[in-house]
Amino acid sequence: MARFTHRAEPYLYTAPALILIVAVMLVPLGIGVSYAFRDIKLLNPFGGGFVGLKHFYALAKDRNFWTALNNTVWWTASSVILQFGLGLVLALLLNRPFRGRGLAQALCFLPWAVPSFLSGLNWAWLFNPVVGPIPHWLAALGILSAPTNILADPQLALIGPIVANVWWGIPFFAITMLAALQAIPRDIYEAASIDGASGVQQFRSITLPFLAPTMAITILLRTVWVANFADLIVVMTGGGPADRTQIVASYIFTTAFRKLDFGYASAISLVLLALLLVYSLLLVSLRQTLLSKG
């Protein structure tokens, strides 16, 4: 008995955390997956029966879903690329010593502290020509023919949430890249300078290789987060006009909490989960391949 207790001791220490993970994550996930194969509608209290792959067959013919999926690709790719590029530039600037750098860092990281709901509301006001300055600035620069709300234009509406998302997400990359930059030994740069390496050569041969692991994991995480991030779109456009800003995450929200069809919303969620898992596996395998070659 004592021998069994000794072997089970490590599992007993981790049991509370495992029970919490199962209760908070795995159980809701299992229930959500089961909903995808059942007819769960709040307006039909006598439903809930097993429907098999019916939701997935309907999803394959759902034009709104394919529009949302296409928007998700543009929303995620443009947001992550701009956030990463601007965040890296900001991190490189903040990595240089200058007077007032602490205050500058605090101000640059301020957007990350703003709740996403409040951020979306503020940007919706900024794009409103009645109370916001952005349409008037764009008209003065000749970008718009007149101060109009681009959030009401089906061709331009997605730009608004992307701009808000980029502003809100830049600090994430700036913080992580700045931490990685400060971990690079300064002696390497000093030795490269003595050897006559230029700033561009130092960045390409020293900075990028050291930042590569951090870049890979942050881009992976941020892509998954942005693809699931519907707050700004729900607040700023509600998926409109004419579903031109609807992404898969906001389509799930609309289906579940406006149409009250939790079964169909769970099927959409399951498809999004599968797509993100495939993306994550591809990125991780690509990273492992590059590391093995290096």
For the CA atoms of 83, 85, 89, 90, what is the dihedral angle to 10 degrees? 0
Query: Max CA-CA distance within the chain?
Result: 82
Q: Which residue has the higher pLDDT, 267 or 97?
A: 267
- Please report whether residue 211 resides in a domain: yes
**110-113 contacts, C-beta under 8 A, 24 or more apart:** 110/171, 111/167, 111/168, 111/170, 111/171, 112/168, 112/169, 112/171, 112/172, 112/175
Q: Which residue has the higher pLDDT, 119 or 112?
A: 119
- Other beta carbons within 10 angstroms of residue 47's beta carbon come to 13
Average pLDDT over residues 172-189: 90
Non-local (6+) Cβ contacts of 210 within 8 A are 180, 183, 184
Q: Which of 163-167, 201-205, 263-267 has the lowest mean pLDDT?
A: 201-205
| Cα atoms found within 13 Å of the Cα of residue 101, Cβ hemisphere only | 11
Q: Domain range holding 184?
A: 36-41+50-293
Q: Is the pLDDT reported for residue 294 higher than 60?
A: no
- Per-residue model confidence (pLDDT) at position 107: 84
Q: Tell me, what CATH number does 215's domain have? A: 1.10.3720.10
Q: Which of 1-5, 27-31, 67-71, 75-79 has the lowest mean pLDDT?
A: 1-5
Q: Is the pLDDT reported for residue 243 higher than 70?
A: yes
Band of residue 291 on the pLDDT scale cut at 50, 70, 90 = low
Q: Is the pLDDT reported for residue 241 higher than 60?
A: yes
Q: Which of 9-13, 83-87, 197-201 has the lowest mean pLDDT?
A: 9-13
- Please report whether residue 227 resides in a domain: yes
Contact 113, 175 (CB under 8 A): no
Q: Is the pLDDT reported for residue 240 higher than 70?
A: yes
State the chain's mean pLDDT as an integer: 88
Average pLDDT over residues 199-206: 85
Q: How far is CA 78 from CA 60, 71, 72, 118, 230, in A?
A: 26, 11, 10, 22, 15
Q: Is the pLDDT reported for residue 41 higher than 90?
A: no
Domain count, the chain: 1
- Please report whether residue 14 resides in a domain: no
- Per-residue model confidence (pLDDT) at position 268: 95
Contact 158, 68 (CB under 8 A): no
- Please report whether residue 234 resides in a domain: yes
Average pLDDT over residues 153-177: 93
- Please report whether residue 100 resides in a domain: yes
- Please report whether residue 13 resides in a domain: no
Q: How far is CA 175 from CA 84, 180, 204, 205, 292, in A?
A: 11, 9, 21, 22, 28
- Per-residue model confidence (pLDDT) at position 293: 62
- Please report whether residue 142 resides in a domain: yes
- Per-residue model confidence (pLDDT) at position 4: 64
Place of tokens 């999004």: 272
Amino acid at 213: P
Of 287, 271, 292, 281, nearest in space to 59 by CA: 271
Band of residue 129 on the pLDDT scale cut at 50, 70, 90 = very high
Q: Is the Cα dihedral 140, 144, 147, 150 positive or negative?
A: negative
Q: Which of 79-83, 133-137, 222-226, 239-243 has the lowest mean pLDDT?
A: 239-243
pTM of the model: 0.88
Band of residue 123 on the pLDDT scale cut at 50, 70, 90 = very high
- Please report whether residue 214 resides in a domain: yes
| Length, in residues, of the chain | 294
Q: Which of 137-141, 154-158, 190-194 has the lowest mean pLDDT?
A: 190-194
